[in-house]
Amino acid sequence: MHKEATIREPLVLGHKTYHQVTEDVCKPIEGKAPRTWYILFSIAAIIGVYGIGCILYLLGTGIGAWGLNKTINWAWDITNFVWWVGIGHAGTLISAVLLLFRQKWRMAINRSAEAMTIFAVFMAGLFPLIHMGRIWVAYWVMPLPNQFGSLWPNFNSPLLWDVFAISTYLSVSLVFWYIGLIPDFATIRDRAKKPVAKKIYSMLSFGWSGRAKQWSRFEMVSLVLAGLATPLVFSVHSIVSFDFATSIIPGWHTTIFPPYFVAGAVFSGFAMVQTLMLVMRKAYKLEAYIHTKHIEYMNIVIMATGSIVGTAYITELFISWYSGVEYESYAFINRATGPYWWAYATMMTCNVLSPQLMWFKKLRTSLTFTFIIAIVVNIGMWFERFVIIATTLHRDYLPSSWSMFYPTHIDIGIFVGTIGLFFVFFLLFTRYFPVLALNEVKTILKSSGQSYKDGTAKTPAFSIEEQHLADVKMKSSATAKAKTKSTPVQDTPAIDPKLVALVGMLGVVETDHKDDLTELTGLDSAIETKLNEIGIYTFAQIARIDAASDLGLLTVYISAAASQADLLAWKIEAEEKLKNDNN
């Protein structure tokens, strides 16, 4: 079993049992959605529908509806594409890279972070598709035999690599996410009371039964998929950066791009995770699972990747001067001091300065501060892509064709629309899906749960020996308590005092309330008389027998007539009977 040093902060706060973990995660799905959910969903849906409207208008009219011109032929579209792909990276990093590094804190956030990844990559994929203009021939990017004498797509082009990288990334993330979801869907299925919900969750859970062999395969698949997803996530943003780095445009043509883009992607992705998690943990009352320590860990990642990004910015500046290439240095001088200086300044402040504040423990453990920084970083990273794309293009080799970029309302509508759509998806996810990886959190409960770490948790016990010890203790203390109370019912004094105490614990009943105990299978009248002698008259008393501690004593008393298993069976049957009577 996974062991953890006691000085490490617990990952699950308070005392949680396995059942409570299930309850905490499943309750919001099973209950009615709060009013705020409907309000947020409506807002997101309206914005999303507006975005779809803008996309349809663009498809009907043509790319001219964007503010592009012949100098700036890539602007918000590709900025948004790179921004969304970047955001997607955090989910895979959390669920795959941190899995390989055995970072247990990822378990509280991986499910929702990965959902975020998938929805963000949906949004990202939209931009190249609509940028094609004629979206109905989008399948031409695939190497399919065609009527042009089988003219293949150009496999030397980074844009085609992008097609393969993004689609592989999306589909692999989806599969990885879904495989993890199946056991949790099974939990919801087994709890579901409404027939429709039960039917839907049975379909979604693929008939998962939780057999030992299934779990063994599950762990292997998770590990191998994590191993595959780790280089995949690095390759995806490297390839996105090749879209720029393999060109010969000054300001794009730099070898530092792949690592710098990957670090930037993780940076922006974690900022988005923070933004979502801070709200979600409050709304779904998951503060015990996603607490300050988790937020702090993520802030440290933001700080580290933010520093890499900052170093990359400065390296770029240095190299542009050191290379001695005039065009290269002008591209950077123009970024910082040209007409788009404000975009550059925003990028520098948001991405280089703001994460450095996370060095202060007080700041990185403050939730409000984290939320603000997360938003700031999201904005900063959007500007980074805008600076790289639009301000590099706006002054090309020919000064007569220099121009500026002004977004049209379609540009803005589509960008804002994708944010709306993203939240539509994410809100639906939090409403119908288990937002916490139930099965994973349960595996760390004993090693990282607060009450288990400080030793205050009693049940479930750690080992069978300990449980028996606890039972013995419980029994003796129960006996002592009952003795001092001196139960007055017993009319046959020859009975073992322990038994008297036991029956006292089961509850004292008058003889005239007695049930016909022989209704229980295999309980004959001889045993009934014996039970009556010590004061057990009703099903309720039998149902109250404690399987762990009382069974032995009673078996000794009844002796040859019945075994422990019989008693246990009667107890369960009595419980059933009582349940049925109550209904």
Residues from 409 through 448 that contact another protein (CB under 8 A): 438-440, 442-443, 446
Task: Identify which of residues 220 and 480 has a Cβ nearer to another protein in the complex.
Answer: 220
Which residues, including other chains, have CB under 8 Å from residue 216's CB and lie 6 or more apart?
A: none
Determine the 3-state secondary structure of 81 from DSSP: helix
Alpha-carbon radius of gyration of the chain: 32
Judged by CB under 8 A, the stretch of 203-211, 287-295, 382-390, 405-413 that binds another protein is: 203-211
User: For another protein, how many residues bind (rule: CB under 8 A)?
Assistant: 86
Handedness of CA 57, 59, 60, 63 (dihedral sign): positive
Tell me which residues in 527-566 interact with another protein (CB under 8 A).
547-548, 551, 563-565
Judged by CB under 8 A, the stretch of 167-175, 282-290, 299-307, 392-400 that binds another protein is: 167-175
Alpha helices in 459-547 (DSSP H): 464-485, 497-506, 525-533, 539-543
Judged by CB under 8 A, the stretch of 15-23, 30-38, 60-68, 384-392 that binds another protein is: 15-23
Nearest approach, Cβ of residue 534 and another protein (Å): 22
Taking CB under 8 A as the criterion, the residue among 19, 134, 285, 361 binding another protein is 19
Judged by CB under 8 A, the stretch of 49-57, 201-209, 283-291, 448-456 that binds another protein is: 201-209
CA-nearest of 227, 259, 346, 272 to 112 is 272
Judged by CB under 8 A, the stretch of 46-54, 131-139, 189-197, 308-316 that binds another protein is: 189-197
Amino acid at 474: M
Task: Identify which of residues 15 and 483 has a Cβ nearer to another protein in the complex.
Answer: 15
Nearest approach, Cβ of residue 575 and another protein (Å): 10
Task: Identify which of residues 95 and 299 has a Cβ nearer to another protein in the complex.
Answer: 95
Taking CB under 8 A as the criterion, the residue among 70, 213, 362, 513 binding another protein is 213
CA-CA distance, 393 to 403, in Å (whole number)? 9
Is the backbone of residue 379 left (phi > 0), alpha (psi -120 to 50) or beta? alpha
Judged by CB under 8 A, the stretch of 82-90, 219-227, 348-356, 493-501 that binds another protein is: 219-227
Task: Identify which of residues 299 and 439 has a Cβ nearer to another protein in the complex.
Answer: 439
Task: Identify which of residues 228 and 474 has a Cβ nearer to another protein in the complex.
Answer: 228
Give yes or no for residue 215 binding another protein (CB under 8 A): yes
Alpha helices in 284-340 (DSSP H): 292-322, 326-337
Question: For the chain, first and last CA: distance in Å?
Answer: 43
Taking CB under 8 A as the criterion, the residue among 22, 329, 370, 451 binding another protein is 22
CA-CA distance, 129 to 163, in Å (whole number)? 10
Beta carbons within 10 angstroms of residue 385's beta carbon: 25
Q: Is 216 exposed, middle or buried (0-12, 13-18, 19+ CB in 10 A)?
A: exposed
Determine the 3-state secondary structure of 12 from DSSP: strand
Give the rounded distance of the alpha carbon of 171 from its chain centre. Answer: 18
Task: Identify which of residues 205 and 346 has a Cβ nearer to another protein in the complex.
Answer: 205
Nearest approach, Cβ of residue 452 and another protein (Å): 11
Give yes or no for residue 507 binding another protein (CB under 8 A): no
CA distances from 320 to 215, 333, 342, 387, 389 (A): 54, 9, 20, 16, 17
CA-CA distance, 345 to 376, in Å (whole number)? 13
Task: Identify which of residues 71 and 467 has a Cβ nearer to another protein in the complex.
Answer: 467
Taking CB under 8 A as the criterion, the residue among 35, 70, 211, 362 binding another protein is 211
Task: Identify which of residues 177 and 383 has a Cβ nearer to another protein in the complex.
Answer: 177
CA-CA distance, 573 to 569, in Å (whole number)? 6
CA-CA distance, 328 to 263, in Å (whole number)? 23
Task: Identify which of residues 185 and 423 has a Cβ nearer to another protein in the complex.
Answer: 185
Q: Do the Cβ atoms of 567 and 551 come closer than 8 Å?
A: yes
Taking CB under 8 A as the criterion, the residue among 47, 55, 121, 186 binding another protein is 186
Return the HEC string of 405-433. Answer: CCCCHHHHHHHHHHHHHHHHHHHHHHHHC
Give yes or no for residue 487 binding another protein (CB under 8 A): no
Task: Identify which of residues 408 and 447 has a Cβ nearer to another protein in the complex.
Answer: 447
Task: Identify which of residues 168 and 349 has a Cβ nearer to another protein in the complex.
Answer: 168
**Residue span 559-578 as binding mask against another protein, x where in contact by CB under 8 A, dash where not:** ----xxx--xx--x------
Task: Identify which of residues 185 and 429 has a Cβ nearer to another protein in the complex.
Answer: 185
Q: Do the Cβ atoms of 253 and 332 come closer than 8 Å?
A: no
Give yes or no for residue 357 binding another protein (CB under 8 A): no
Tell me which residues in 220-259 interact with another protein (CB under 8 A).
220-221, 223-225, 228-229, 231-232, 235, 239, 242
Judged by CB under 8 A, the stretch of 90-98, 202-210, 306-314, 334-342 that binds another protein is: 202-210
Q: Do the Cβ atoms of 473 and 551 come closer than 8 Å?
A: no
Give yes or no for residue 179 binding another protein (CB under 8 A): yes
Tell me which residues in 461-480 interact with another protein (CB under 8 A).
461-465, 467-468
Give the position of tokens 């390296």: 315
Give yes or no for residue 64 binding another protein (CB under 8 A): no
Give yes or no for residue 176 binding another protein (CB under 8 A): yes
Nearest approach, Cβ of residue 539 and another protein (Å): 17
CA-nearest of 461, 443, 450 to 15 is 450
Beta carbons within 10 angstroms of residue 425's beta carbon: 18
Give yes or no for residue 216 binding another protein (CB under 8 A): yes
DSSP letter at 247 equals: S
Judged by CB under 8 A, the stretch of 187-195, 298-306, 411-419, 498-506 that binds another protein is: 187-195
Task: Identify which of residues 214 and 255 has a Cβ nearer to another protein in the complex.
Answer: 214
DSSP class per residue in 94-137: IIIIHHHTT-GGGGGTHHHHHHHHHHHHHHHHHHHHHHTS-GGG
Q: Is 545 exposed, middle or buried (0-12, 13-18, 19+ CB in 10 A)?
A: buried
Nearest approach, Cβ of residue 44 and another protein (Å): 29
- Six token digits for residue 434: 């288990």
Tell me which residues in 132-151 interact with another protein (CB under 8 A).
143, 149-151
